[in-house]
Amino acid sequence: MKCPHCSEELSDVVPRERLNTKTQAIKELQKQLSEAQEAASSAESLQAAAEALRTELEAERNSFEAYKLESETSAELLRAGITDPEDMDLARWRYSKIDEPPAFSEWLSSAAREDRHLARLFETASAEPVAAPEQAETAPPASAPPANAGARQAAVSPPPRYSLGEISTMPLEQLREAIAAGAFK
C-alpha cells in the first residue's frame, strides 16, 4: 500500500477504514457476549428456582401420600374396632415391619389378628359390642326423675312502698325491717 500523502510504499499497514470496521465488529461481539452472559446467569437462577420448587413439590407429594395412607389405615382400624390412637400407631408400626406386606385391610383382617401384640386389641374390640346389648337388656327401665319442687318459688308479695312522710315518722326498728325486706331498692 502507498501513502496517500507522499506516495511512499508502506508495509504492514492496515487501512483506517478496515480498522474501524473491525473495531465496530469487536464492540458488537462484546455486547452480544455480555447479553449472553446475562441470559446464562438468569437461566441459572431460574434453574435453581425450578429445582427448589421441584424439591418442594416432591416433599408436598410425600406429605400428601403419608396423610392419605394414614387416613386410609385409620378408617380400616376404626372399622376393625381399634379406636385408641396409640393402638392405631402400634398396628401401623407392626404393619411397617413386614418385608412384603399385603394390602393393609387384608393384613388387618387376617395376619394382624394372629400377631401376639395386636391380638388383644381385637379381643377387646370384639368383646365390647357383645357386652353392650346384654347390659341394655338386663338394665331396669329408667324411672321418671323426681319433680324438682325446690325450683318453684312461692308467690311472694312485693315489699310495701312508703311515702316520705311515713318514712320520717317511722320508728327506727320498723325502718330497719323495711330496709332488710327491700322496700327501698
pLDDT tens digit string along 100-135?
888 888 888 888 888 888 888 877 655 555 445 555
Within a domain: residue 6?
no
Q: What are phi and psi of 9, to 5 degrees?
A: -80, 125
C-alpha cell at 29: 461481539
Within a domain: residue 52?
yes
Neighbours of 83 (CB within 10 A): 13
C-beta of residue 7 within 8 angstroms of C-beta of residue 21: no
Mean pLDDT over each residue of the chain, to the nearest integer? 81
- Give tens-digit pLDDT for 57-91: 999 999 999 899 888 888 888 888 888 889 889 98
Within a domain: residue 70?
yes
Within a domain: residue 131?
no
Cα separation, 155 vs 153, in Å, equals 6
Within a domain: residue 59?
yes
Which of 83, 70, 76 is CA-nearest to residue 125? 83
Question: Which domain does 86 fall in, by range?
Answer: 45-126
Within a domain: residue 61?
yes
Within a domain: residue 83?
yes
Residue 159 C-beta-side C-alpha neighbours within 13 Å: 11
The mean pLDDT of 8-37, rounded to a whole number, is 87
- Residue predicted with more confidence, 34 or 150: 34
Number of folded domains in the chain? 1
Cα separation, 133 vs 1, in Å, equals 120
Within a domain: residue 183?
no
